[in-house]
Structure 1
């Protein structure tokens, strides 16, 4: 069975959009429940909602690119850079700060999507 090359973008897009809503949807309620800290400052609310916007935009780009061959390669490159960058940061945190039971599954998924994206970039050359 062959896994469609677009599945990486669709799945990671959906997951990142959901994460965006978790981070910024209602931070004064979600963050205390999920991460154990209060979000009171306007600047922190603004930052979390900005992160939400980034995640929504990037996730939507990946999903659109899964169905648009002309932008597939660029979106996959973006996906690899995003997943590689975020997994690098989580790896640094794991080494420096310790293992996070909450975010270790995220790290594993990010590393999988990173590797899957690299594989797809190598297997499917850029369409110009």
Structure 2
């Protein structure tokens, strides 16, 4: 999901952002920002996929996922209070909180199963 979101943000932000978020992306700096976001999302998404299949990376991938999801949800929560309610972003915040909690749960339950400390 994160890799797909990254592609949505960065492949062609001048075309996609007006359609999906009603944001016009004409400034070169804004295009760079969206493509940098794409790079972050793609890099982390690939790391999380590797962590799902390589036990040596599992703990660090899960922890980075927890921090990422918690960080985004925190930012959305702040925006909810300062900027107002938007249903799509509220739903995203709830999903991010669920993924964060699920990650904490997995760290607690599966840590000993992989022999991780």
Q: TM-score higher than 0.5 here?
A: yes
1:55 paired residue among 41, 57, 67: 41
Q: State the alpha-carbon separation in 1 of the partners of residues 43 and 93 from structure 2.
A: 21
Unaligned runs of 5+ in 2: none
* Cα deviation digits, residues 61-109 of structure 1 (max 9, x gap): 0011100001100000000000010000001111111111221221111
Q: State the alpha-carbon separation in 1 of the partners of residues 107 and 36 from structure 2.
A: 29
Matched, 1:127 2:116: yes
Give the Å deviation of 1:127. Answer: 2.1
Give the Å deviation of 1:31. Answer: 0.8
Report the count of equivalent residues: 114
Between structures 1 and 2, the one with greater helix share: 2
Matched, 1:118 2:104: yes
* Partner SS state of residue 38, structure 1: coil
4+ runs deviating over 6 angstroms: none
Partner of 2:93: 107
Q: State the alpha-carbon separation in 1 of the partners of residues 71 and 105 from structure 2.
A: 17
Partner of 1:21: 7
Contact 1:65 1:72 in 2 (8 A): yes
Q: State the alpha-carbon separation in 2 of the partners of residues 37 and 114 from structure 1.
A: 28
1:79 paired residue among 65, 68, 80: 65
Contact 1:69 1:127 in 2 (8 A): no
Matched, 1:95 2:84: no
TM-score (norm 2): 0.93
- Backbone CA RMSD of aligned residues: 1.1
